[in-house]
Structure 1
């Protein structure tokens, strides 16, 4: 497995990890900076590596104890770190940050990144974030950056940053601890059917070719054609899964954030996308095609049923009926209510619709939350476990259908179902799924993370 590796140009921990993880490599650490008593490092080399980037924020922490309570100021600190780095190398790293790709492939610099300076003020979401970050920069660093175009830097950071997840073992999954800019990785366009899959387990970006029979190209032109999914990072521990395949709602949110469209086959073919997402069991009386469930923007409590006219139907785009679709969310309702809601949805939606898959995912993780958070008696716990297993097995079967349309194989669900079988004493079935889980994890991470917990189950 050939893996493209890139070291971050700049990186910053989230505030909640500043006192527990090294600001240079993001690994667990305890050695405090002697000046600010806020940032920690794992050894003297990391302290030296981070010293130039930490200098400005170190002074800010020393000058005001109030700064220690600032939350969600990671973008403000990243701005300071970028400015420090630009003063060193002008945006052109002296060392090659990439490995395992041809030297003939052009490496990007900071100036190659797009800041979307004209688009940010026109996006309410981005502009509000800019106003917050601007105030945080002022609070931290005073007037030091008055002669610098901070909005341009902010835009480049906001649009091009990647979440950094430290992957230490399979059972806990990746822990999202901070953000980083990877200059060359940022050249890849988004696709819901990407050529590259993330398999990072530390601060470095690691990408592998999705098609195991292919290798990384040798020329810049071919390298630039590779795609990556920006919608999700495929191994974070899920609490409320969004989706493993594209949806129209996700696409709109994606476009509004990144300022460009996805042009993969799934997103380009809106008719097929809508049908696959929300096809129902009800058929059009004219053409016999499945009616599709769509959002009713005039009444948020209802959804509408229409025929998409894929078979040149005369009832194309006519509203055939209005239905109320129950929402499944993790509130304090009883699991019995959620099950009843899902049962009602199953009677309406086509068995292979993506929307039904998503609702089943939500209920599966509600089961998991209930088992982990509530003091249940043994009988109730056994009922929940059996229900979760039944639903988990359904999910695994459906995932096999949609694997070709997704960069994310649900390793987590396979692992969780194996654990549930183990809880009720079905060890042989658990071992089969644990082995499947190990194979799936190793396909992405090889021997780079700790599999001991799963191997012990075998």
Structure 2
């Protein structure tokens, strides 16, 4: 099931060990945007807890009619063939589900499948053992949690498949450091897998590659030109987070301080990170303004001049902090209500948005998070005009935050086109324009043959047909 890197990587890349960053994958020649670099099946993978009834645990396809295992009533399959192929692994976990009368969480089920793969093919486990564990870097309470989880694993699989207590802790550390969320075409997670080859890719806040999935198959695609001897990098964390938040998250989970070119760029006071910036007080200006919180503590009033429009800027620091704090409280209240009451959640999000939109830059992480929440709520309520206004603003924020071939930009452009098509008065010219741009990006990030790309292409053909009929 697992293939060595030398067998899948082709002649364009190689693995190197560099002192400051450990092992990584490097180009051996120029690689163009859209090139497929790696495609790999997982060593082990599971559907996550929330999607067990809607995703096939055999082939990881979404949608369609599924039937559950008649013994455990937990795992679902799209066909008898998938059920038969998965039997080698599921027969062990199925018995434990029935015996325990509960479904172990995602991470436990993944560990069990890794151990069952090892039991069935002992030599393959070398791929897992070669992964970075960083065990000595984990806090004691994390290690203690892993020890407790190991006890649950012991209840789920046979004694023949178990490792020693110390080896189990190493395995949990490796899983924490190296697992991938399995995403659908719209980059929404529905599973977790371990892919030893792709784990060799290091992080950058300006990635030149993206990880895309087709069911459980992982694909690494180039989204920016990569030159000979240049490292191939992906992002480990949310790139819309402010610099210091990204660095904090990377240090907490992956135990390194990011010094990529993007992080270094925003360390300079001359370069303002829009993810944490205020907006210019001239509402016709879209320039980012350095937030007072980044200045010397004790400052009561912040004054500056906008470099774009030359307007004099004056902020009451305490007032800014108070308003931001209030908006975050409102956002949290809305988030807690989203699954219960869309209307009440929308009310809180709108109040948070009104505060943030008057104060924060359009690509500010907090404003963007609130806007995305409102976009989802308005879509659920079928308020298409309001959803459209937020979607268009999200697209503009993404143009600032991401490269112009990043899949999230392409996906949001497609979502915007779809909303246009649901409006009473459809602007078919705008729909075609949005779909063309979305398709151009997705052909790079997802590839021409990916189901999501083909779906966008079909929508574009339909829109072209409608446009031509209007012209005639």
* Pair 291,6 (structure 1): closer, same or farther in 2 beyond 3 Å: closer
Q: Deviations over 1:367-403 (max 9, x none)?
A: 423423448xxxxx4xx72x55445444434543444
**Contact 1:245 1:405 (8 Å CA) reproduced:** no
- Counterpart CA distance in 1 for 2:76 and 2:357 is 51
Aligned pairs for 1:269-280 within 5 A: 269-272=265-268, 275-277=272-274, 278-280=276-278
Distance in 1 (alpha carbons) for counterparts of 2:391 and 2:76: 41
Is 2:233 the partner of 1:231? no
Supply the distance in 2 between the matched residues of 1:279 and 1:82 (Cα, whole angstroms): 44
Q: What corresponds to 2:164 in structure 1? A: 147
Equivalent residues of 1:294, 1:303 under 8 A apart:
no
Moved more, 246-255 or 421-430: 421-430
Q: Give the whole-Å Cα distance in 2 for the aligned partners of 1:227 and 1:129.
A: 31
Q: Which residue number in structure 1 is paired with residue 436 of structure 2?
A: 435
Aligned residue among 32, 37, 42 for 1:8: 42
Secondary structure class of the residue paired with 1:164: strand
Separation in 2, partners of 1:404, 1:38: 41
Range that drifts further, 427-436 or 38-47: 38-47
1:400 and 1:117 map into 2 onto residues whose CA distance is: 38
Asked if the contact 2:179–2:194 (Cα under 8 Å) also holds between the matched residues in 1, the reply is: yes
Distance 1:50 1:120, change over 3 A: farther
Q: Which has the higher helix share?
A: 2
Which residues of 2 match residues 144-183 of structure 1 at below 5 A? 145=162, 147-148=164-165, 149-167=167-185, 173-183=186-196
Q: Deviations over 1:185-215 (max 9, x none)?
A: 101111111231123222111011222x558
Tell me the CA shift for residue 114 of structure 1: 1.8
Corresponding residue for residue 251 of structure 2: 255
- Counterpart pick for 1:18 among 52, 57, 81: 52
Q: Which residue of 2 aligns with 1:414?
A: 413
The 1:367–1:18 alpha-carbon spacing in structure 2 relative to 1, beyond 3 Å, is closer
Task: Decide whether the 8 Å contact of 1:360 with 1:391 is kept in 2.
Answer: no
Q: Give me the TM-score of the superposition, normalised by structure 1.
A: 0.70
Residues 13 and 178, structure 1, Cα contact 8 Å, conserved in 2:
yes
Note the residue ranges of structure 2 that are not aligned, 5 or more in a row: 1-33, 282-287, 305-314, 335-344, 465-472
Is residue 364 from structure 1 mapped to residue 364 from structure 2 by the alignment? no
- Aligned-residue offset at 1:257: 0.8
2:351 matched to which residue of 1?
337
Query: How far, CA to CA, are the matches of 2:80 and 2:410 in structure 1?
Result: 37
> Aligned pairs, how many?
383
1:72-91 CA-to-partner distances (Å, cap 9, x unmatched) read: x1211222222222223335
**How far apart are residue 453 of structure 1 and its match?**
4.5
Give the secondary structure class of the aligned counterpart of 1:200.
strand
Is 1:134 matched with 2:150?
yes
Contact preservation (8 Å) 1:7, 1:205 = yes
Does the 8 Å contact 1:188/1:226 carry over to 2? Answer: yes
CA distance in 2, matches of 1:276, 1:158: 29
The equivalent of 2:19 in structure 1 is none
Contact 1:19–1:38 (Cα < 8 Å) also in 2: yes
Matched, 1:63 2:99: yes
1:415–1:404: structure 2 CA closer, same or farther, 3 Å change rule? closer
- Residue by residue over 1:131-183, the C-alpha shift from the partner in whole angstroms, topping out at 9 and shown as x without a partner, is 5523532443487747352111111111110011233xxxxx34422111111
Please give the alpha-carbon distance, in whole angstroms, between the structure 2 residues aligned to 1:197 and 1:407: 8
- Is 1:31–1:42's contact at 8 Å kept on the other side of the alignment? yes
Paired with 1:336 and 1:53, the residues of 2 have a C-alpha distance of: 48
Shift in Å, 1:420: 3.7
Task: Name the SS of the counterpart of 1:439 in structure 2.
Answer: helix
TM-score, normalised to structure 2's length?
0.68
Deviations 1:303-348 (A, max 9, x none): 98599xxxxxxxxxxx9944334325262435653453134305xx
Runs of 5+ consecutive residues of structure 1 not aligned to the other structure: 94-107, 168-172, 233-242, 283-288, 308-318, 376-380
**What is the CA–CA distance in structure 2 between the aligned matches of 1:31 and 1:177, rounded to whole Å?**
18
SS of the aligned residue for 1:199 comes to strand
- 3-state secondary structure, aligned to 2:55: coil
C-alpha separation between the residues in 1 aligned to 2:393 and 2:50? 37
Q: Take 1:34 and 1:400, find their aligned partners in 2: how far apart are those partners?
A: 49
- 1:89 maps to 121
Q: Is the 8 A contact 2:43 2:196 kept in 1?
A: yes
What secondary structure is seen at the aligned counterpart in 2 of 1:337? Answer: helix
Of the three residues 24, 27, 41, the one matched with 2:61 is: 27
Corresponding residue SS for 1:75: helix
Q: Map 1:317-396 to 2 at 5 A.
A: 321-322=317-318, 323-324=320-321, 325-326=323-324, 327=327, 329=331, 331=334, 332=345, 333=347, 337-346=351-360, 354-355=363-364, 358-374=365-381, 381=383, 385=385, 388-396=387-395
